[in-house]
Amino acid sequence: MKLVASIPVLIPKKEGSMTNQDDEEKRNMRIMWIASGVVVLFIVGLMGLSMLGMLGNPGTSPTDMSSQSRTAPAQ
């Protein structure tokens, strides 16, 4: 009886299928779209509050010191 040398059998690693990669890519894209939407809404909200004068900056509120709102001095 002849002994047969054992040959190591290479079992390929289980790789994610293309559908799993596509699902992960779609999920990542969805997260990026949601994050950018949140950032845009935050910036637009701050701009709106600033325009309404609710942020407390006294320098950005409208004043009545323009020359058009005053009458000319009497001569």
Answer with the residue of higher pLDDT: 5 or 51: 51
Distance, in Å, from the CA atom of 66 to the CA atom of 69, rounded to the nearest integer, reads: 6
| 67 pLDDT higher than 70 | no
**pTM for this one?**
0.48
45-61 pLDDT, tens digit per residue, is 999 888 887 766 555 55
| 37 pLDDT higher than 90 | yes
pLDDT band at 43 (very low <50, low <70, confident <90, very high): very high
| 9 pLDDT higher than 60 | yes
Q: Output the CA–CA distances (angstroms, integers) from residue 75 to 30, 54, 68, 69, in the order listed.
A: 70, 41, 18, 19
